[in-house]
Structure 1
Amino acid sequence: MKKISRLLTSSLLVLSLAVGCSNNGSKSTDNPNDKASTASTNESASVLVGIKGPVLSLDPANYRDRLTESVLRNVFDGLVTVDEKGVIKPAIAESWENTTPTEWVFKLRKDVKFHDGTALKAEDVKFTFDRILKENGIDGKTSPRKGLLEGVKEVQVVDDYTVKFVLNNPWPILLTMLPLQQIIPKAYAEKVGDKGLAEKPVGAGPFKLVKAKMDERIEMARFDDYYGGAPKIKNLAFDVIPEASSRIGALKAGEVQRIHDLSPSLSKTLMADPEIDVKTVEGTRVYMLQMNVQKAPFDNVKVRQAMNHAVNMDAIIDKILNNYATRLAGPMLSNAFALDTSLKPYEYSPEKAKQLLAEAGYPKGFPVVIDSDANNKEVAEAVAAQLRDSGIEASTRVWDVGVLKPMLLKGERQMFMGDWGNSTLDPFDFLNPNFITKDRANYSQYSNPRVDELLKQGATEIDAEKRKAIYKEAQQLIYKDAPWVFGFSKKEIEAGVKKLQGWSPTPDGSLYMSKASVSK
Structure 2
Amino acid sequence: MKLRYIVLTIVLILIILAISYAALQKKVETTPITSPTETPLPTSKERIVVYAYRDTITGIDPSIEFDTGIVILSNVYEPLLYYDPIKNEFKPALAISWNKVNETAWIFNLRKNVKFHDGTYLTSEAVRFSILRSKLIYEEKGIGPGWIWNCLEDIFIVNETSILFKLKYPVPIPLIVSSAYGAYIYSPNLLRYANASDMIDEKIRLWFEAGNDVGSGPYKIELYKPESEVVLRKFEDWWGWDIVNNSKAPEIVVIKIVEEPASQELGLLDGSIHIATNVAKANINRLLNQGYKIINQTTFHNYILMFNAKRWPTNITDFRKAVLYAVPWNKVIEFAFQGFAKEASGLIPYGYPGYVENLRYEYNVTKAKEILEKLNISNTKLELVITSGYEEEERFASLLKSSLNQLGIDVEIVALPWEQVKEKGVAVWRNPDDAPHMIINDWWPTYPTPYDYLYILHSADIEWNWSGYTNPEYDELIDTAFQLEGIDYDKAIEIYNKAQKVVFDDAIAISIADSIQPYIYDPDRVLIRDEALNPLYMFVIFFQYVEVVS
Which residue of structure 1 lines up, in the alignment, with residue 226 of structure 2?
A: 214
* Match of residue 281 from structure 1: 297
Map 1:412-491 to 2 at 5 A: 412=433, 413-422=436-445, 424-436=447-459, 439-461=462-484, 462=486, 463-491=488-516
Q: Which residue does 2:215 correspond to in 1? A: 203
Q: Deviations over 1:385-404 (max 9, x none)?
A: 11122333333223431441
The more displaced of 283-292 and 142-151 is 142-151
2-side partners of 1:438 and 1:256: how far apart? 38
**1:292 to 1:62, Cα distance in 2 relative to 1, 3 A:** closer
CA deviations over 1:372-414 (Å, ceiling 9, x no partner): 2323333222211111223333332234314412323333332
* Distance change >3 Å, CA 55–CA 290, structure 1 → 2: closer
Secondary structure in 1 aligned to 2:493?
A: helix
- Of 500, 508, 511, the residue aligned with 2:541 is 511
> Paired residue for 2:340, among 309, 318, 324?
324
Q: Using the TM superposition, give the Cα deviation of residue 14 of structure 1 relative to its aligned residue in structure 2, in angstroms.
A: 4.2
CA distance in 2, matches of 1:371, 1:52: 17
TM-score under structure 2 normalisation? 0.80
- Distance in 2 between the 1:438 and 1:204 partners? 31
Following the alignment from structure 1 to structure 2, what is the Cα–Cα distance between the partners of residues 389 and 94? 60
Cα distance, 1:423 vs structure 2: 5.2
Q: Which amino acid aligns with 1:502?
A: I
Residue 340 of structure 1 aligns with an amino acid whose one-letter code is V
Asked whether the 8 Å contact 1:308–1:486 carries over to 2, the reply is no
Aligned length: 479
CA 1:377/1:12 → structure 2, altered by over 3 Å: closer, same or farther? same
d(CA) in 2 for partners of 1:155, 1:285: 32
Task: Classify 1:393/1:218 alpha carbon distance in 2 versus 1 (closer, same or farther; 3 Å).
Answer: closer
Q: For 2:158 and 2:411, locate their aligned partners in 1 and report how far apart those are by CA, in whole Å.
A: 60
| 8 A contact 2:459–2:468 mirrored in 1 | no
Separation in structure 1 between the aligned mates of residue 414 and residue 333 of structure 2, nearest angstrom: 21
Aligned to 1:158: 158
Mapped contact 2:310–2:428 kept (Cα < 8 A): no
* Cα distance in structure 1, aligned partners of 2:164 and 2:212: 29
Contact 1:207 1:220 in 2 (8 A): yes
State the structure with bigger RCO (CA 8 A, min sep 6), 1 or 2. 1
**What's the counterpart of residue 355 of structure 2?**
339
| Post-superposition offset of 1:470 | 0.7
**How far 1:163 sits from its partner (Å)?**
1.2
Tell me if 1:356 matches 2:381.
no
How do residues 266-277 of structure 1 correspond to structure 2 at under 5 angstroms? Answer: 266-274=283-291, 276-277=292-293
Shift of 1:314: 2.5
**Rounded Cα–Cα distance in structure 2 between residues aligned with 1:217 and 1:441:** 26
Q: Please give the per-residue CA displacement for 1:406-455, whole angstroms capped at 9, x wherever unaligned.
A: 32333333222332222534211110122446643222222332211110
Aligned to 1:291: 307
Q: Note closer, same or farther for the CA distance 1:255–1:446 as it changes in structure 2 (3 Å cut).
A: same
Shift in CA distance, 303/143, structure 1 to aligned 2, threshold 3 Å? closer
Structure-2 separation of matches of 1:106 and 1:330: 36
Tell which deviates more after alignment, 53-62 or 461-470. Answer: 53-62
Which residue type is aligned with residue 492 of structure 2?
A: R
Give 1:112 deviation, angstroms.
1.8
How far did residue 192 of structure 1 move?
A: 4.2
1:225 to 226, 232, 237: 237
Q: Which amino acid counterpart does residue 496 of structure 2 have in structure 1?
A: Y
Residue 251, structure 1, aligned to residue 265, structure 2: no
The Cα shift of 1:144 comes to 2.0
Aligned-partner residue type, residue 254 of structure 2: A
Residues 128-207 of structure 1: matches in 2 within 5 Å?
Answer: 128-135=130-137, 144-172=144-172, 175-176=175-176, 178-180=178-180, 181-193=183-195, 194=204, 195-198=206-209, 199-207=211-219
CA contact (8 A) 1:366 1:393 kept: yes
Q: Distance in 1 between matches of 2:239 and 2:522?
A: 28
SS in 2 for 1:127: helix
Residue of structure 2 in register with 1:236 after alignment:
253
Contact 1:437 1:446 in 2 (8 A): no
**1:226 match: secondary structure:** coil
The CA distance in 2 between the partners of 1:469 and 1:406, in whole Å, is: 30
- 1:32 counterpart residue number: none
Runs of 5+ consecutive residues of structure 1 not aligned to the other structure: 1-9, 17-42
Conserved 8 A contact 1:15-1:220: no
- 8 Å contact 1:15–1:210 — kept in the other structure? no
Is structure 2 residue 502 aligned with structure 1 residue 501? no
Which of residues 381, 388, 396 is equivalent to 2:405?
Answer: 388
Q: Provide, for residues 93-147 of structure 1, a one-character-per-residue CA deviation record: whole Å limited to 9, x for no partner.
A: 112223233322211111322223332111111111122222489xx96752323
Task: Assess, with a 3 A threshold, how the Cα gap between structure 1 residues 141 and 176 changes in structure 2: closer, same or farther.
Answer: closer
Partner of 2:41: 13
- Counterpart residue type for residue 511 of structure 1: I
Residue 197 to residue 484, structure 1, CA distance change in 2 (3 Å)? closer
CA contact (8 A) 1:436 1:451 kept: no
- The equivalent of 1:34 in structure 2 is none
User: How far off is 1:505 after superposition?
Assistant: 4.6
Match of 2:198 in 1: none
- The 1:226/1:87 distance shift into structure 2, 3 A limit, reads same
Alignment partners' CA distance in 2, 1:495 and 1:514: 18
Q: Which residue in the other structure is 1:38 paired with?
A: none
1:357 maps to amino acid: L
SS of 1:478's equivalent in the other structure is helix
Which whole-Å CA distance do the structure 1 matches of 2:480 and 2:64 have between them? Answer: 29
Do the aligned partners of 1:304 and 1:485 also contact (CA within 8 Å) in 2?
no
Structure 2 contact 39–223 (Cα < 8 Å) conserved: no
Could you tell me how far 1:517 is from its partner in structure 2?
0.9
Q: Match of 2:179, SS? A: helix
Distance 1:269 1:284 in 2: 27
Residue 110 of structure 2 corresponds to: 108
Deviation of 1:260 after TM superposition, in Å, equals 1.8
- CA shift, 1:168, in A, is 3.2
Given that 1:493 and 1:505 are in contact with CA atoms closer than 8 Å, whether structure 2 keeps it comes out as no
Aligned pairs for 1:88-99 (under 5 A) are 88-99=90-101
Change (3 A) 1:360 1:89: farther
Find the counterpart in structure 1 of residue 386 from structure 2. Answer: 372
CA separation of 1:65 and 1:252: change in aligned 2, threshold 3 A: same
Q: Cα–Cα, structure 1 residues 441 and 225, in superposed 2: closer, same or farther, change >3 Å?
A: same
Q: How far off its partner does 1:355 sit?
A: 1.8
SS at match of 1:333: coil
Q: Is 2:386–2:439's contact at 8 Å kept on the other side of the alignment?
A: yes
Distance 1:443 1:241 in 2: 26
Counterpart CA distance in 2 for 1:209 and 1:300 is 48
- Classify 1:483/1:143 alpha carbon distance in 2 versus 1 (closer, same or farther; 3 Å): closer
SS at match of 1:134: helix
Deviation, structure 1 residue 271: 2.1
* Displacement of 1:81: 1.2
Alignment-derived partner of residue 69 in structure 1:
70
CA contact (8 A) 1:436 1:446 kept: yes
Query: Does 1:409 pair with 2:409?
Result: no
After TM superposition, the structure 1 stretch with the greater mean CA deviation from structure 2, 215-224 or 463-472, is 215-224
Q: CA RMSD in A?
A: 2.7
Moved more, 261-270 or 93-102: 261-270
